[in-house]
Each structure stands twice: as structure tokens, then as C-alpha cells.
Structure 1
Amino acid sequence: MNIGRVYKGSCFCGAVHFTVSGEPVAMGYCHCESCRHWSAAPVNAFTLWKPEAVQITRGADNLATYNKTPHSYRKWCKTCGGHVFTEHPGMGLTDVYAAVIPDFPYNAGVHVHYEESKLRIKDGLPKMKDVPKEMGGSGVSLSE
């Protein structure tokens, strides 16, 4: 089985290490209130992977989990508090934050939850009211 390229990442302090392999299902920017608050930023750069493409290679026992809703299980390092990824069981995907995979060639394709945006970005990418239909959303596009 060919898993493709493998990229390494870690939490802020390096206590938790992981790899992602192959290609993500999607990449983009999330503007929802939950992601903005969790990341302490006006927008969150995401990479969505099949769960089997994400492997914790060190410090799995140092990961903590919080789920405000059953849709998202947010994971962070217990030592530094660095956010690592979010499991989305309903979508069958894991969001590994683009910022924690330093050598990954991030190339956003969409803005999701753009209706909630606090930072308007004019980059020519599609802007979704929520998320695409195939991910359970309305599929409604918004203008820049």
C-alpha cells in the first residue's frame, strides 16, 4: 500500500509528535465561532484527513480532549496547551491545524462558515455560508 508523502508535526513544546500521510481530503479556512475562539484568532487554517492518515508518534498520553459538542473532539498538549488537531466523528475526518505541520505544502481551497467571518479575506477562493453539502452543510456560496 502506497501511503504517499509523510509530514511530521508537533505541539508547541514538542511533547506530542505526529505524522500525517498522503493527501488531505480538503484544506481551507474556517471562520466559525468555535474555531475562532479555540484558535484565539480571527480565522483557522485547517487540513482535513482520514483518521488512519494521522498517527501520534510520541506523547499520546500527553493529549487531552475537550468536546463542546459531539461533532468535534479538540485535542491539545497537557504540557504546553498547544492545540494539535480536532476529530470530527460525524464527518469521519480529523482536522490537523495547518500551523502545526511546518513542512506541509498548505494550499487552501475554500472558506467555510464565512457568514460568521470577523476577518473578510479577498483571495478569490469560494466562500461557503457554512460547509459544502457533501459535508452536511447547505452548500450555499457567498460573495467575497
Structure 2
Amino acid sequence: MSDTKTYNGSCFCGAVQFTVTGEPAAMGYCHCESCRHWSAGPVNAFSLWQPDAVKVTQGEDKIGTYHKTPNSYRKWCQSCGGHIFSEHPGMGLTDVYAAVIPDLQFKPAVHVNYQETRLRIKDGLPKLKDFPKEMGGSGVILEE
């Protein structure tokens, strides 16, 4: 018997449902202008997963895709407009928005793109100027 945990998630109306299995590769907050605009909020809470850990179980035909750049293929429900996840081919990861996985215990470890923040958060987590070096960023940590 496996101890691997599976979490259920859905869009706002429930027409698109999916599972994520295992543990996320990372969790944190993104402060970039693109994520802020897409989420209509001052910061985006992310959970990054290996693409094969994310499975659409219902409503795949209702998923719309938008990509402003080749870095992010943003997915949403065409019925309700609810955002569900973004595929990041360059990173080889899928960002499932933390808010759409209700049973996942969100444990953020980092803030990325903090140089673009519009909401200062003093939580003791590292505040990266852009991305970690291993993800193609500078790895520079900014002061809280």
C-alpha cells in the first residue's frame, strides 16, 4: 500500500476537476506583474508539481489556455472563468494555484520576483529578487 497522498481540486464552479498526487516540488508566493494581473490580486500563492502528478479527471474539454509568453500556459475553466493552473514548460513544472486545492496544507518556503512586489510581507521567508539560480534566476535575496 502506498503512502502517496492525492489531493482533489477544481475550478470555481466545479466543471473542471483534477487531482495532484505526491508532494509539490515547491510552494511559495509570486509577486511578478504577470501573476498579479492574472490572479487579480497583489500576490499569487503557488504550488509547483511535476506535470505527471497533475491529472484532469473531469471537464478537460472546458479548459481554456492563454499564453502571453512561452514561459507560462495559463489554464482556466471556460464555464466559470476560474483559474486552475499554469504549465511552465521551461521549468518542467505545473503551478497549481494553492487556493484550488482545499485539502493541501500550504507551506510556503519562498517569495519569488519580490523586486516587483506591491504588498510587503514580513513572514521571515526568503525574498528572492527573481528566481532561484537553479531555475535560471539570479538567486539574489532581498531584505524583508
2:68 alignment partner, SS class: strand
Q: Which residue of 2 aligns with 1:128?
A: 128
Answer yes or no: is the 8 Å Cα contact 1:85–1:94 preserved in 2: yes
What one-letter code is carried by the residue in structure 2 that aligns with 1:80? C
Distance 1:72 1:133 in 2: 19
C-alpha RMSD of the superposition: 1.1
TM-score, normalised to structure 2, is: 0.98
**What 5-or-longer segments of structure 1 have no aligned partner?**
none
Q: Which residue of 2 aligns with 1:86?
A: 86
**What 5-or-longer segments of structure 2 have no aligned partner?**
none
Runs of at least 4 residues off by over 3 Å:
none
Q: Which residue of 1 aligns with 2:116?
A: 116
Question: Aligned residue pairs: how many?
Answer: 144
Distance 1:24 1:75 in 2: 18
Following superposition, the deviation at residue 3 of structure 1 comes to: 7.3
Following superposition, the deviation at residue 5 of structure 1 comes to: 0.1
Following superposition, the deviation at residue 2 of structure 1 comes to: 4.7
Following superposition, the deviation at residue 58 of structure 1 comes to: 0.2
Identical counterparts, % of pairs: 72
Q: Deviations over 1:112-140 (max 9, x none)?
A: 00000000000000000001001110100
TM-score, normalised to structure 1, is: 0.98
Q: Which residue of 1 aligns with 2:62?
A: 62
CA spacing shift, 1:3–1:74, aligned 2, 3 Å: farther
Aligned pairs (5 A) from 1:26-41: 26-41=26-41
